[in-house]
Amino acid sequence: MKRSFKWRFRILSAAIPVLATQLSLAALPVTVDGEPLPSLAPLLEQVTPSVVNVYTRTRVRVRSPLMEDPFFRRFFNFPDTPRERVSQSLGSGVIVDAAEGFVLTNNHVIAGADDISITLADGRSFEAKVIGTDPDTDLAMVRIPAEDLQALQFADSSQLRVGDFVVAVGNPFGLGQTVTSGIVSALGRAGFRGLEFQNFIQTDASINPGNSGGALINLRGELVGINSAIFTPSGGNVGIGFAIPSAMARYVMAQLSEFGEVRRGTLGISVQDLTADLAVALDLQKGQGVLVSEVAEGSAAEKAGLQAGDAIRTIDSYTVRSAQEFHNLEGQFPVGETLALQIVRDQSEKTLKVKVEELQSLDGGEVDARLAGTRFEELPLKARSSGIKGVLISGLEPDSQLGRSGFRLGDIVTGCNRMTIQNLNEFKDVISAVRGSLFLEILRGGKGYVVRVD
């Protein structure tokens, strides 16, 4: 193998002068029929100053197993305090507000970081402050104290079509700002674990580790998506990358800048995909709406007259093709906004006006002192549409009794002392009726557990 490698190296080396001569004789023309050749360079000169590199540092305390043994700790004079290990990671970001210094990136790029550093295309570096994060969409926004910034303009990602040319800009593998190009391969991709709202743009523009949080732009230099993930069997790019649509990113950005979090509402219904059989029965085509499977009592949908069995075709002129798409749209409208729902009932079309209501939540301490420091709220649509019943733990103080008992954010309480819990009202009634220890039944990652709380 070693001899073969040298032979190939010599052949390649000898070919260089020949290739150079051929290239000099066959250089690309500057123009064709008097017209300059197309180039992305003028576009990128306007765009690349808006894309930044993100570097994070996370301090993790580690302790050797030997340090847990008092004999070894005393005999070898081990310090009693754990050592500190610094973990570093990298990603990309997009300047979305030059005046405020707002930079949009992925939540997974900065999650848990102690220090966040932003390096601009001109070489300047700044320490960043987190404005807010939204794990449900994998988006986060930070602020840098910088002047003379250039923000990217948002495009309407709903106008994207499969086949449109796009360009990805980011910091793959920490190499520095890198540009790749491709097309939109598919739209509306979903089915990824850990994300509540999914409507990904799929592209074959090369996206690699480090590109997360970078920009996906159209040929007008407008932001159409935030690069977020890749599908890969090997860890590298295979031409299947995913970006969060700019429409979703813009809504999240507005919420984070105003509240520091995303405040989503609900219509109070559960929906399911419209199967072929159901579509025939309703005189619709498959993929032309979603079926209402349940309407919560006292919800905005019930007040508006929506019924189980109705087929919803559009929300405020947005066409609904699947339960996931309905879920994305429901989470995109602010609390208090009134939406026009076009429905089909008994083979006739109707339009109903429904107001987006805030998800009901409850401080556990109001029901039982042992639940203080824990916030419970109604389940989001995606969980309800999957047939899950219960209440969600949306806030948890580490020093609270549930925090010390091993509960986690995102746990779903489905029952207590062998009594089922379907919503917040039942949660209050069941907990109030218990005398003695609470045996809370929870759902976590598809598995059920029972935890005793005294």
Catalytic residue among 50, 89, 108, 157: 108
Q: Residue 332 forms beta bridges with which residues? A: none
Helix (H) / strand (E) element for 430: namely helix 424-433
Q: How far apart are CA 272 and CA 311, in angstroms?
A: 10
Is residue 264 within 8 A of residue 331, CB to CB? The reply is: yes
Q: Environment class of residue 36 by beta-carbon count within 10 Å: exposed (0-12), middle (13-18) or buried (19+)? A: exposed
Assess whether 138 carries a catalytic annotation: yes
- Residue type at position 364: G
Catalytic residue among 212, 246, 270, 400: 212
Assess whether 157 carries a catalytic annotation: no
Q: How far apart are CA 63 and CA 46, in angstroms?
A: 49
Catalytic residue among 138, 204, 310, 411: 138
Please state, in angstroms and as integers, the Cα–Cα distance from residue 239 to each residue in 51, 166, 183, 223, 236, following that order: 22, 13, 10, 20, 9
Q: Pick the closest to residue 188 from 225, 218, 148, 236 (CA basis).
A: 225
Is residue 183 within 8 A of residue 164, CB to CB? The reply is: yes
Assess whether 212 carries a catalytic annotation: yes
State the DSSP string of 138-195: TEEEEE---SS--PPPBP-GGG--TT-EEEEEE-GGGS--EEEEEEEEEEEE---TT-
Token code pair at residue 224: 């159409």
Catalytic residue positions, numbered: 108, 138, 212
